[in-house]
Amino acid sequence: MSRETGVQRHPPTSADTLLSVQDLSTRFFTEEGQVNAVESVSFGVQDNEILGIVGESGSGKSVTALSLIDLVESPGRVTSGEVWYHDADLAEEYRDDDSVAVDRNHVDLRTVSERVRRGLRGPSFSMIFQDPMSSFNPSLTVGEQIAEAVEVQRRATANPRSTRARTQGYGFGRFFVDTLIPGRGYVTTPSKERAVELLEQVGIPDPAERAEEYPNQFSGGMLQRAMIAQALAGEPDLLIADEPTTALDVTIQAQILNLLREIQAERGMSIILITHDLGVIARMCDRVCVMYAGEIVERGTIDDIFENPVHPYTQGLLGSIPDLQDPEPRLQPIEGNVPSLFDEEMGDRCYFADRCPKAMDACLETPPEQDAEGSSDHAAKCVLTDREYTPAEAVPRGYFEDAETAGGTDE
Ligand SMILES: Nc1ncnc2c1ncn2[C@@H]1O[C@H](COP(=O)(O)OP(=O)(O)OP(=O)(O)O)[C@@H](O)[C@H]1O
Ligand code: NI
């Protein structure tokens, strides 16, 4: 099931909205069938905030992030949606262009060319991953690679009005030097100095010496810091961090998270932080989106989600983290499995219903997103948003699978 976006557009109403995503869907067209990895998600990122995206493995967090910056790889494709980005220069440039959707200082990036979107990587958006090795070329020094990213930013700002010319964004360190500039040694001294400065800012001791080293000479934690330095080189407005600390031990993890928060506050940038760890969300984020089976099933402020969760999935996730107030911390993963997301298996109903301890007959229909109690940002896709759970209407486990099979064999 998919909800098509019509011609009507939904630009954000506030100038403080850095990014506003509307009905974004991404599918993978595999030989086994169509995978609905991201299903009509909508959310906003405000200036200066950390937005968390949380959910079990396979819920669509990473694909959502990749969809924002055009990094979904074939056979995947963003199939619908709007991605409004606040950029006065870009808006000015396209204001008279009929093929591009512009509203005040926001531009719907889905309507600009792929080349322009690619050019925004680095100077506007940057991404860091769990595995820092994937962001570095093993045969170039760390300093050289960060200097390259600085260089890209310098070229972009030297030509601020020509966003169209910013088409040679760096692919997060992935060997762009080979294709972009023939030969080496083009990196200017100011860029090299800036690279050392960035390494220092992310807490790398002896940054000038470390800049001369290769990625494999760095420890995991240090390389993670270097990747953050590389991501910051373009002075992005938005940093997307996908499980940035999952591979690190607890102490280093805490240091990296603190670093991210310091940098965010210092630079006044926004961060989308993807994690399966609600503890990390609670510590770091202002607001949070809970994802399940490609959908945002609940969103709100930290207080909404932790004090007043509506969706039984959110409640389940909260039940599966150790409760700090509880002398005997509980760890109770939610029973059952995440659905496959194959289009033909995604019925017209609540996707969580067959794992839900509060499933009722009403869950046989797709619940719309509705406002929930709490802040004005609190909303959930669940019938329990506006009604009480009624045990008398409860359905037995397996009910939804059976209903599905029955539906599938219908003539
Ligand atoms: N290249 C691909 N081909 C087919 N399906 C894909 C591909 N990449 C991702 N998917 C599917 O998209 C869905 C969402 O995956 P995604 O990586 O976004 O999950 P996630 O929430 O980031 O999980 P994790 O916590 O494990 O990183 C999954 O069902 C996954 O199988
Ligand atoms: Ni992921």
pLDDT tens sequence across 261-279: 999 999 999 999 999 888 8
Ligand that comes closest to the CA of residue 67: 1
pLDDT tens digit sequence for 312-356: 999 999 886 665 555 554 556 788 888 889 988 888 889 999 899
Neighbours of 396 (CB within 10 A): 8
Any ligand 1 atom below 6 A from CB of 59: yes
51 CB within 6 A, ligand 1? no
Q: Is the CB of 35 under 6 A from ligand 1?
A: yes
The predicted pLDDT at position 59 comes to 94
pTM here is 0.89
Residue 374 has pLDDT above 60, yes or no: yes
**How far apart, in whole angstroms, are the C-alpha atoms of residue 316 and residue 333?**
7
Closest ligand, as measured to the CA of 61: 1
- Cβ of residue 30 lying under 6 Å from some atom of ligand 1: yes
Quick one: pLDDT at residue 178?
37
Judged by phi (left if over 0) then psi (alpha if -120 to 50, else beta), residue 341 lies in left
Q: What is the pLDDT of residue 354?
A: 87
Residue 76 beta carbon below 6 angstroms from any ligand 1 atom: yes
Residue 164 · residue 93 · CB < 8 Å: yes
In this structure, what token pair is assigned to residue 124? 């506007």
Give the chain's mean pLDDT: 86
Question: What's the confidence (pLDDT) of residue 249?
Answer: 85
Beta carbon of 276 within 6 Å of any ligand 1 atom: yes
Q: What integer is the mean pLDDT of 354-371?
A: 91
Q: What is d(CA 114, CA 275) in angstroms, rounded to the nearest whole number?
A: 28
Q: What is the pLDDT of residues 13-53, one digit of tens each?
A: 999 999 999 999 999 999 999 999 999 999 999 999 999 99
CA nearest to 346, candidates 63, 27, 95, 96:
27
pLDDT at 188: 86
Q: Which residues contact 332 (CB under 8 A, 6 or more apart)?
A: 319, 320
For residue 75, whether the previous peptide bond is cis, meaning omega lies within 30 degrees of 0, is yes
Annotated domain spans of the chain: 15-124+236-410, 139-163+170-234
For 22, other C-beta atoms within 10 Å of its C-beta total: 21
Give 76-103 as a DSSP string: EEEEEEEEEEE-HHHHHHHTT-TTS-EE
pLDDT of residue 322: 61
**Would you state the CATH architecture of domain 15-124+236-410?**
3-Layer(aba) Sandwich (3.40)
The yes-or-no verdict on residue 238 having pLDDT over 90 is yes
CA of 341 to the centre of ligand 2 (A): 15
Residue 334 is classified by DSSP as P
Between residues 188 and 404, which one has the greater pLDDT? Answer: 188
pLDDT of 4 reads 43
Q: Which of 32, 35, 41, 274 to mutate to test the pocket of ligand 1 (most atoms within 8 A of CB)?
A: 35
Per-residue pLDDT at 3 = 41
| Residue 343 Cβ < 6 Å to ligand 1 | no
- Measured in Å, residue 241 CA sits from the centre of ligand 2 at 10
Bridge partners for 292 per DSSP: 295
Ligand sitting nearest the alpha carbon of 55: 1
Q: Are 340 and 401 in contact (CB under 8 A)?
A: no
**What confidence tens digit (pLDDT) does each residue in 99-146 have?**
999 999 999 999 999 989 988 988 899 999 888 888 899 999 999 999
pLDDT for residue 168 is more than 80? no
The confidence score (pLDDT) of residue 165 equals 42
Whole-number Cα distances in Å, 316 to 182, 352, 366: 54, 11, 20
Residue 59 CA, ligand 2 centroid: distance in Å:
8
Ligand 1 pocket member 57 (CB < 6 A): yes
